[in-house]
Amino acid sequence: MTRYLVAEWIRRTRLRLADPAARPLPEVTVGSGPGVRGWVLRLALAVLCPLLLLTAAGRSPGLAAGLVWTVVVLATILLVVRPTPAAAGGVVVGSGVLLWGFEPGPFDPWSFVVALLAYLLTRVTWWAAHVPPGGRAEAAALLVGWRRDLGVLGATVLLGGLAMLAEGTTLPAAVLLGACSVVGIMLLALATNGSARDDGPSRG
């Protein structure tokens, strides 16, 4: 009896493994250029998120290692599982807090690297949110906004450089000017002429 049951179990297992009906459904063939699968974008997130947080935390030696690693693991899991702009924003704010380390200090040049990684993480998160793991993003689409990204990063470096130069000065006007420029950028960004669910311009 036992021998029969074992043989039956082996037969069923073999059939289940070789079941042709269990294979995935076919995919629609799309004539597009070379692309990147969605899971690759999530993999990139799994690399970028710890890199960003550890780079930021590395500039604050006073932080407890256990706390940092806990934050890194939780944030990475959150981003890989739910790659939403809000999650990415939380990680970026977290990296800023880790960079601060709750300690006053001079302008840290590593903040350029942190800003670059934060922007990269935000962009990759946007792509991961729009391309499911089994989906595909065309390489040409991934590179669509590279000029804008370079411009943004160049402007960031310029602003950071100015901030570094103004840090040593005792001119309150320069600090005020820097703060005003950042606030001005923020206000410009807010001027979207409509709500998030825009119904178009109002008509008289």
Residue of 4, 191, 202, 204 that binds other proteins (CB under 8 A): 191
Question: Least distance (Å) from other proteins to the CB of residue 39?
Answer: 12
Q: Which is nearer to other proteins, 81 or 144 (CB)?
A: 144
Size of the site for other proteins (CB under 8 A): 91
Provide CB contacts within 8 A for 44, sequence distance 6+: 124, 128
Binding segment (CB under 8 A) for other proteins, from list 43-51, 69-77, 145-153: 145-153
Residue from 4, 65, 148, 204 in contact with other proteins (CB under 8 A): 148
* 157 CB-side CA count, 13 A: 8
Q: Which is nearer to other proteins, 71 or 137 (CB)?
A: 137
Residue type for 165, please?
A: L
Q: Site residues for other proteins, window 15-34 (CB under 8 A)?
A: 15-16, 18-21, 24-32
Which residue among 40, 68, 159, 174 contacts other proteins (CB under 8 A)?
Answer: 159
Piece of 42-50, 67-75, 136-144 that binds other proteins (CB under 8 A): 136-144
Residue choice 5, 64, 65, 189 for contact with other proteins (CB under 8 A): 189
- Do residues 91 and 121 touch, judged by C-beta distance below 8 A? yes
The whole-angstrom separation of Cα 142 and Cα 163 is 32
Which burial class, exposed, middle or buried, applies to 76 when counting CB atoms under 10 A from its CB (0-12, 13-18, 19+)?
Answer: buried
| Interface characters, 82-121, with other proteins (x: CB under 8 A) | --xxx-xx--xx-xxx-xx-x-xx-xx--xx-xxx-xx--
Instruction: For the chain, state the CA radius of gyration.
Output: 25
- Provide the phi-psi class of 194: left if phi over 0, else alpha when psi is between -120 and 50, else beta: left
Query: In this structure, are residues 167 and 107 in contact, taking their beta carbons and an 8 Å threshold?
Result: yes
Least spacing, CB of residue 77 vs other proteins, in Å: 19
Q: Which of 10, 145, 165, 180 binds other proteins (CB under 8 A)?
A: 145
- Region 50-89 residues binding other proteins, contact defined as CB under 8 A: 56, 84-86, 88-89
Cα–Cα distances in angstroms (integers) from residue 121 to residues 2, 53, 97, 111, 193, in the given order: 57, 11, 16, 15, 28
